[in-house]
Structure 1
Amino acid sequence: MRILGISAYYHDSAAALVEGGKPVAAAQEERFTRVKHDAGFPRHAIAYCLEEGGCDLGDIEHVVFYDKPFLKFERLLETYLATVPRGFRSFRTAIPVWTKEKLFQKALLRRELRKQAGATDWNGSLLFAEHHQSHAASAFFPSPFENAAVLTLDGVGEWCTTSIGHGVGRTLEIQREIHFPHSLGLLYSAFTYYTGFKVNSGEYKLMGLAPYGNPRFVKTIMENLIDIRDDGSFWLDQQYFNYCTGLTMTSEKFHELFGAPPRRPESPLTQREMDLAASIQAVTEEAVMRLARFARKSTGERRLCMAGGVALNCVANGKIRKEQIFDDIWIQPASGDAGGALGAALACWHQHAGQPRPEINGCMDHMQGAYLGPAFSDEAIQIRLDAAGARYDVVGDDGVVPATADLLAQGRAVGWMQGRMEFGPRALGARSILGDPRSPSMQKTLNLKVKYRESFRPFAPSVLREEVSDWFDLDADSPYMLLVADVAERRRRKMTPEEERLFGIEKLNVPRSEIPAVTHVDYSARIQTVHRDTNPRYWALLSAFKQRTGSPVLVNTSFNVRGEPIVCTPEDAFRCFMGTEIESLVVGNCILRKEQQNPELARDYKDRFALD
């Protein structure tokens, strides 16, 4: 039985194909259209999934959408009616879209599906899963656990914003929910908006900014905005927010409470924004910790699965692990709405069709390292690079890893495109920009000259799984870059008294460890453990780099510039290479050096994409 899952029409549209209870293919639409967070119908992603699965739509038994539009419409109407007349402006904006398209999504989906190959032979069913059911299914069913507590947290689905569930075998029961307008995701997004970043995109920036600040607003937030109970349930005072009734996240009362209007986007950051970021991060961590403790107590389980946009807050995830609330944690790598496509398909397989889970070994999950996107043969790569005008050297399978390790050891920034593209927001060594973590200037160079993004944003380390505990305060799998832990004490550099007195953004250029390019200002790092069985070539590259330098760690950031989706094809990789100061590019077995390229093919990538 083949099942196709779809998420669309809000943000991060995606498609996923499940066969035999396992993901066969999954991808976000943005990777094909090159439009960040593309919310349109994922026709390119669907076409890819069907091609990868060796089938067409006629071979699909069920197509499953990741949420229920009528329930969402019910929530909108009830919210507007409860807030009359304040919500009229928002109502006037939203209702025409719903009455024209979204309310009749079943017909819209069928109309779009009829454009796919094999649609004339399709007589399968079109099903709808609830939003948090999709999140929970994406968390539990691909996990390596036979039973587990399941925690989902995001902005909002239909009504639910937070759920605690219990997974046992092929059953998954949601035991408790918190409903809109009370939402940790929307609270965090309100501060994202207030500090001048883009909602549904800039939350990563807020998390990265937090270590520069002092959490001096925690008491203000806890006494005015949110009431968090011991069991993790919470309540938000809607006087301070505008997302129910207006077109912004925060109200004038919110601005009065914090003494200023929202920061203007792209204006200089001040210590105040850093302190706000530190404060809301601390509050979020406290709420998540209480929810995790209650999930442990209410389910009796020793393992936890997580999904939803808030589950991408890797700092909070790291705190759950550090506190040892659970023996083990597994987090869906595509925790946001894109992963809802996969969750909807898996919910159909197990909960609708009643099919068993694939064999679970308690160690490796069923996500294949999240490498579920397109791959390109060496022949296809060369044809595409030739058409783009690239100049390259071809090396054998045995030559690409040592040649790349040499480039990295020389201090060069390397674009690295190998194998199947990752599913989810993180680059995991298939579509990555790599660098030497020992370089004290690499973090600033990559941010300002390659990524064209804010200088304060940290980079993640990829580390050989076998070596992780020697370099970080972590001895566990973190294959999806969703856990934060500190750099090991023995790897840190003692700071001078003058450096200790630095505050906020002044800390940025102070080397803090043997691997300064991936050590944040609080000595933390967002860690990816690299496993030989899921990405053997990337594992071999880290091993070769260690042989040359003694470091089993590389800087790993996504292969894109600010505002651009992660590259998908060899052409995408070459364009980004020629539009930035990346010095070398390795695509399959092809090695490109910037100095050898035709200068007429250079592009100005700095302002090519809308800022995120």
Structure 2
Amino acid sequence: MKVLGISGLHHSEEFKRRELPGLSEREYRISQGRDSAAALVVDGRVVAASAEERFTGEKGTGRFPANAIRDCLDRAGLGLADLDLIGHGFAHEPSELEAGEDYLARRYREVYDPERQLDWFAEHFPGQEVRSRFVPVPHHLAHAASAYYASGFDDCLVLVADGRGETESLTVLAGTGGKLDVLHSVPAMHSLGTLYGVFTLYLGFEMALDEYKMMGLASYGDRTRYERELRQLVHLRPAPEFSVPLLARDGDLLQRETHRGVLAVLEEIFGPARQPGGPIEQRHMDIAAAVQAALERCLLHVLRHYRHQTGLRDLCYAGGVALNCTANGLILRSRLFDRVFVPPGAGDDGTAVGAALHLHADHKPETPITPLLMPYWGSSFDADRIAEHLATRTDCRHRRVTDEEELLAETAAALDRGEVIAWFQDGMEFGPRALGCRSILADPREARMRDHINNLIKKREDFRPFAPVVAEEAAADLFEIRRGRERQYAHMLFTTRTRPEHRERLGAVTHIDGTARVQAVSRDGNPRLWSLLNVFAARTGLPVLLNTSFNLRGQPIVRTPREAVDTFLRGGLDRLVIGDHVVLPGGAS
């Protein structure tokens, strides 16, 4: 069976710009349906998946994923007519718009109505019959499927938490015997994702884009300074209930579309909001820390209840809130669950994968789904295509090193002497994390390397940490990871502590609070990167590198050889290893 899944809501932001002129750019970003993507599942295995932003260069775009669809189909040698089913990770219905506001009714007709997806298919794939194969999949069900079916777990608890689906913001499900059954849901009016996003706005960042910045900032703050205020804004009720009455302060349509009502309350309580680009004060750090603590309290409140009620010992977790690595690490360390799985595409891009997996499981339950090892499902380029592009470049020097040992030894030596290296290999990762195929790598030993990359290459805030990538066999020696559980850290979605005796010599990848967002690499997961780590260890004693995404500020992670070389040169990196080619700055060779 061949199933295509898609995510995103085309024209969501454009509709808002037309209907509500005069808002700020940050306010226009507050729209549902971003992170559009496409994924292809063939006979229970994900064979291709890509986010549309990698093709358009528009970070977090919600545009119809026409480019991603074509790429998935082309790489599988299929056409749209070959597909059995097409799933979309939203299933909005008009009944939710009974508030009587014309704006909401028009938005449903022009953006949310599943019929619009058929219009976009007709526009981008004219003459192709789609209607009989198109299935809207409820948003949280798509999120849940993206985690449960990829995990390889038989029976587990499943948690979905985000800004909102159709009408809900948190859903608890039981995944048993290949089926997903809803146990509990929390309406959008009490959304933990929206709560975190509004505080992200208050702190001068962009909602639905920069929440990870607030998570990084929280590590510098005092969680107790504003604990009382947060407990007044977020209430724990008898388990598993909680409420976020703060969000009800957005009273009218304009406030709900901009969160100006909630922001006004936050200014009354915490003082003036930080302006974008303005100085970061200690109170900003303390507020971020208090919000992070409130989020964690609510998540554990729900999870403890359902862990004991259901007896399910494993957890799958997805939705935008599941990208909060700090909370994920706390859940893992709580020992509530034996195993915790978060898919690398935990955000809305992952609902493309989830919609396809759900439809496969629903229509072909007798065909097992292949569990995820690594999500290298994106565009790949063989040696000839890379060489073909490099032959056109006169703005750099390049040469091919076909001996694998020589290539790795040369790269490790460059890293050891302090070079910052762009690393472009094999298939592009799916999800927001660079997992060793579209990465920037550097020496992890000295904190000044973190500052160098933040300030001169990525040009981003200096409080933001970088992640360590470590050979799986050494992960538990260097970081506080349970032996035998290293593969839970394969996708860079959990923080843990760097062991105290290693923190000084892992200064570039250990955060201010002693934690690290670890990626543990196995030989079968990424053979070339695993080998590079071991060659670097032979020189330095550390099978660890600093790993960050291969992009510059405001740019999606690179997809093609052209983007790789352009970004390498523009970013001022020291060398690019692309396939088995080494590229250096300077005139053509």
Q: How many residue pairs end up in the alignment?
A: 557
Counting only pairs closer than 5 Å after superposition, residues 233-382 of structure 1 correspond to structure 2 as: 233-238=241-246, 241-242=249-250, 245=253, 246=255, 247-251=257-261, 253-358=264-369, 366-382=371-387
1:489 aligned partner, one-letter code? P
- In structure 1, what is the Cα distance between the partners aligned to 2:131 and 2:238? 50
Measured after TM superposition, the shift of residue 256 of structure 1 is: 4.4
Contact 1:240/1:253 (CA < 8 Å) preserved in 2? Answer: no
Contact 2:37/2:349 (CA < 8 Å) preserved in 1? Answer: yes
- In structure 2, what is the Cα distance between the partners aligned to 1:383 and 1:554? 30
Measured after TM superposition, the shift of residue 224 of structure 1 is: 2.1
Query: Equivalent of 2:397, from 382, 391, 401?
Result: 391
- In structure 1, what is the Cα distance between the partners aligned to 2:466 and 2:252? 35
Contact 1:21/1:357 (CA < 8 Å) preserved in 2? Answer: yes
- In structure 2, what is the Cα distance between the partners aligned to 1:435 and 1:325? 35
Measured after TM superposition, the shift of residue 27 of structure 1 is: 0.6
Query: Equivalent of 1:68, from 84, 91, 96?
Result: 91
Q: Which residue of 2 aligns with 1:429?
A: 436
- In structure 2, what is the Cα distance between the partners aligned to 1:417 and 1:277? 35
1:467 aligned partner, one-letter code? A
**Structure 2 unmatched runs, 5+:** 10-32
Q: CA separation of 1:122/1:190 partners in 2, compared to 1, >3 Å: closer, same or farther?
A: closer
Q: Does 1:156 align with 2:164?
A: yes
Query: Equivalent of 2:68, from 21, 34, 45?
Result: 45
- In structure 2, what is the Cα distance between the partners aligned to 1:97 and 1:219? 38
Q: Which residue of 2 aligns with 1:85?
A: none
Counting only pairs closer than 5 Å after superposition, residues 85-104 of structure 1 correspond to structure 2 as: 92=103, 96-99=106-109, 101-104=110-113
Q: CA separation of 1:129/1:121 partners in 2, compared to 1, >3 Å: closer, same or farther?
A: closer
Q: CA separation of 1:233/1:547 partners in 2, compared to 1, >3 Å: closer, same or farther?
A: same
Measured after TM superposition, the shift of residue 122 of structure 1 is: 6.0
Measured after TM superposition, the shift of residue 103 of structure 1 is: 4.6
- In structure 1, what is the Cα distance between the partners aligned to 2:127 and 2:141? 27
Measured after TM superposition, the shift of residue 117 of structure 1 is: 6.4
Measured after TM superposition, the shift of residue 238 of structure 1 is: 4.0
Q: Which residue of 1 aligns with 2:474?
A: 467
Q: CA separation of 1:412/1:160 partners in 2, compared to 1, >3 Å: closer, same or farther?
A: same
Q: CA separation of 1:13/1:125 partners in 2, compared to 1, >3 Å: closer, same or farther?
A: same
Measured after TM superposition, the shift of residue 595 of structure 1 is: 4.3
Q: Does 1:2 align with 2:9?
A: no
Query: Equivalent of 1:565, from 546, 556, 569?
Result: 556
Q: SS in structure 2 opposite 1:434?
A: strand
Measured after TM superposition, the shift of residue 330 of structure 1 is: 0.7
Counting only pairs closer than 5 Å after superposition, residues 425-464 of structure 1 correspond to structure 2 as: 425-464=432-471
Q: Which residue of 2 aligns with 1:480?
A: 491
Q: More displaced, 122-131 or 424-433?
A: 122-131
Q: Does 1:535 align with 2:498?
A: no
**Structure 1 unmatched runs, 5+:** 82-87, 360-365, 493-512, 599-612
- In structure 2, what is the Cα distance between the partners aligned to 1:597 and 1:425? 33
Contact 2:52/2:68 (CA < 8 Å) preserved in 1? Answer: yes
Q: CA separation of 1:458/1:60 partners in 2, compared to 1, >3 Å: closer, same or farther?
A: same
Measured after TM superposition, the shift of residue 353 of structure 1 is: 4.4
1:2 aligned partner, one-letter code? K
RMSD: 2.0
Measured after TM superposition, the shift of residue 283 of structure 1 is: 0.8
Query: Equivalent of 1:32, from 52, 55, 61?
Result: 55
Q: CA separation of 1:396/1:370 partners in 2, compared to 1, >3 Å: closer, same or farther?
A: same
Contact 2:496/2:517 (CA < 8 Å) preserved in 1? Answer: yes
- In structure 2, what is the Cα distance between the partners aligned to 1:239 and 1:156? 13
Measured after TM superposition, the shift of residue 115 of structure 1 is: 5.4
Q: CA separation of 1:467/1:103 partners in 2, compared to 1, >3 Å: closer, same or farther?
A: closer
Contact 2:479/2:499 (CA < 8 Å) preserved in 1? Answer: yes
Q: CA separation of 1:439/1:222 partners in 2, compared to 1, >3 Å: closer, same or farther?
A: closer
Measured after TM superposition, the shift of residue 388 of structure 1 is: 4.0
Identical-residue share of aligned pairs (%) = 38
Contact 1:443/1:458 (CA < 8 Å) preserved in 2? Answer: yes
2:530 aligned partner, one-letter code? W
Measured after TM superposition, the shift of residue 596 of structure 1 is: 5.0
Q: Which residue of 2 aligns with 1:498?
A: none
Alignment deviations for residues 357-403 of structure 1 (CA, whole Å, 9 cap, x no partner): 336xxxxxx23401110110010011122234342011014132222
Q: More displaced, 236-245 or 55-64?
A: 236-245
1:349 aligned partner, one-letter code? H
Measured after TM superposition, the shift of residue 464 of structure 1 is: 0.6
Calculate the TM-score normalised by the size of structure 1: 0.87
Contact 2:189/2:248 (CA < 8 Å) preserved in 1? Answer: no
- In structure 2, what is the Cα distance between the partners aligned to 1:115 and 1:378? 35
- In structure 2, what is the Cα distance between the partners aligned to 1:124 and 1:355? 23
Q: Which residue of 2 aligns with 1:112?
A: 120
Q: CA separation of 1:383/1:239 partners in 2, compared to 1, >3 Å: closer, same or farther?
A: closer
